[in-house]
Structure 1
Amino acid sequence: MRRVRSIAGDSVNLLLYRELERCDDAAEEALWRVNPGLAEYAPVLPAGVWVALPEVDSRPVAPTPVSAWD
């Protein structure tokens, strides 16, 4: 599992997007499971917080489109 340090002004979504190139609900949920103490910080993380990145697929699975004629 890879660990990264936050930069001043990082939010969880910004950190996920910068490091994993995705910030969807599945990636965010996995990050919160791996870092239970991260919720103690404010919505914007201070600089220097170590964050463990979850092991997720490189790209999220695209949902199948729904049509009114299905």
Structure 2
Amino acid sequence: MRRARSIAGDTVNLLLYREQGRSDDAAEEALWRLNPTLAEYGPALPAGVWVILPEIEQRPSAAAPVSAWD
């Protein structure tokens, strides 16, 4: 598993985007499951917090567009 250190003022979404290039709901949910104690820091993480990054696909799968004729 890969770990990353937070920078002062990081949010979970910002940390995910910086480290993995995405911050969608699936990536955020996986991160929270691996790091349940992050909520104790509040919305912004202090500097130096080690965060375990989830092993997920780099790009989320694209949803098929919905057509009125389907």
TM-score (norm 1): 0.95
Give the superposition deviation at 1:67.
1.2
Unpaired segments of 5 or more residues in structure 1?
none
Equivalent positions of 1:1-70 (< 5 A) are: 1-70=1-70
Unpaired segments of 5 or more residues in structure 2?
none
Q: Percent identity?
A: 77
Deviating above 4 A after TM superposition, structure 1's stretches of 4 or more consecutive aligned residues are none
Count of aligned pairs: 70
Give the superposition deviation at 1:38.
0.7
- Distance of 2:41 and 2:67 partners within structure 1: 42
- Distance of 2:54 and 2:36 partners within structure 1: 12
Supply the RMSD in Å over aligned alpha carbons: 0.7
TM-score (norm 2): 0.95
SS of aligned partner of 1:26:
helix
1:23-50 deviation per Cα after TM superposition (whole angstroms, max 9, x unaligned): 0000000000000111111111111111
